[in-house]
Amino acid sequence: MQKHSKIYVAGHKGLVGSALWLTLQNKGYTNLIGRSIDELDLMDTAAVAEFFQTEKPEYVILAAAKVGGIIANNTYRGQFIYENLMIQNNVIHQAYLAGVKKLLFLGSTCIYPREAPQPMPEDSLLTSPLEYTNEPYAIAKIAGIKMCESYNLQYGTNFLSVMPTNLYGPNDNFNLETSHVLPALIRKIHLGKCLEANNWEAIRTDLNTRPIEGINGDASEETILAILSKYGITLSPALTLSPSHPLTASVEIWGTGAPMREFLWSEEMAEACVYVIENINFDDVAPKKSVISTKEKSVESKRSLDKLGMTSKLELIKGEVRNTHINIGTGREVSIKQVAELIKEKVGFNGELYFNTTKPDGTMKKLTDPSKIHALGWHHKIEIDEGIERMYKWYTSNQ
């Protein structure tokens, strides 16, 4: 890519897209295009077609998606598969029609089977059943990978797919109904700290910035306590009766806390993505090709090649083309309980972390194998303790 290349970042306002946008700017790219959902609905096929015809981007990074945590994935199953399929189908197909030089499709490591080997290599895809709670989202992302591979094979496009592990960072989703585990824990434990300190100014500020189910900081204390309690943020009733006794808060966490997770700082993910789109092509991750001159083929074969636009040579892929996607991760894991306790320490919360074992754990282990991207030249640097500290500072400074 040239510094003046026209680059469309789909989903540039979200956690992933905003990190990509900032990384591209910091690297000196000056011709970035972004559209909010109000400006361009990526589920609207006609609108997406018009956008590509008008703007003619040279490169596309597809970071737009409907995302959420275990509750949202399991509750809104139809929306997750429909909206993600529509978004990626429209963008990938129009990128092909517009002659985009390279496209980068972002998926998720939830594409791998529930019982995938640990750490999960790229070739474990489609080897056994998926985790049920996020199956619709995972199937949509698998379809995106296969769409990119198939267009590359049939049309000669240069469309790549990367599968980031669990991400966290600036502009994350802190909506307690739809957020992923780490931002949800940061917010819940922060609000628990505010409750135990009886800091209603901070609680109201938090709700004014990010209302919960429409309830903001203008609501009564009773209403606020009720909505916080719905999401597992409560005061211990016996201790609230005595004004002289310190308040004690409790934060509920779904499951046992035993599941192991891998977390990657979103800005590092963005650096990895830009590294891939700058340096890697489909040929680097696909099986090597055998080239046979058309002079060796019959006249009938040449006519067939002409129809495919391959008049000078026939490129034969050796074997099947599968699993050309690239994992982006740290290769290191930590339990949900350890993450919660680390957040508790960084936030300064003195209350109780209550693990509700009647709620689902989800996949017990989900560690990526980053060997492929390591071999291609990229490694992470920010570890989870530093990342959580950075994220909490960002959260409290953006209220």
The string of pLDDT tens digits covering residues 252-289 is 999 999 999 999 999 999 999 999 999 999 999 997 66
Asked if residue 61 is part of any domain, the answer here is yes
**391 in the same domain as 299:** no
**293 in the same domain as 151:** no
Cβ atoms of residues 64 and 91 within 8 Å: yes
**Could you tell me the CATH number of the domain that includes residue 44?**
3.40.50.720
Catalogue the active-site residues. 137
**58 in the same domain as 154:** yes
- Ordered DSSP codes for 328-354: ES-S--EEHHHHHHHHHHHHT--SEEE
Query: For the chain, what is the domain count?
Result: 2
**Mean per-residue pLDDT of the chain:** 90
Asked if residue 77 is part of any domain, the answer here is yes
**274 in the same domain as 142:** yes
pLDDT (tens digit per residue) in 99-156: 999 999 999 999 999 999 999 999 999 999 999 989 999 999 999 999 999 999 999 9
- Residue 245 is predicted with a pLDDT of 55
Domain membership of residue 126 as a residue range: 7-172+261-287+322-332+364-397
**31 in the same domain as 124:** yes
CA-closest candidate to residue 394, choices 208, 224, 266, 274: 266
* CA distance linking residue 39 with residue 34, whole number of Å: 9
**327 in the same domain as 310:** no
- Residue 309 is predicted with a pLDDT of 47
**129 in the same domain as 30:** yes
Asked if residue 12 is part of any domain, the answer here is yes
CA-closest candidate to residue 179, choices 67, 256, 20: 67
**25 in the same domain as 47:** yes
Say yes or no to pLDDT of 243 above 60. Answer: no
What is the average pLDDT across 350-363?
91
Q: Report residue 188 as tokens.
A: 């819940």
**326 in the same domain as 307:** no
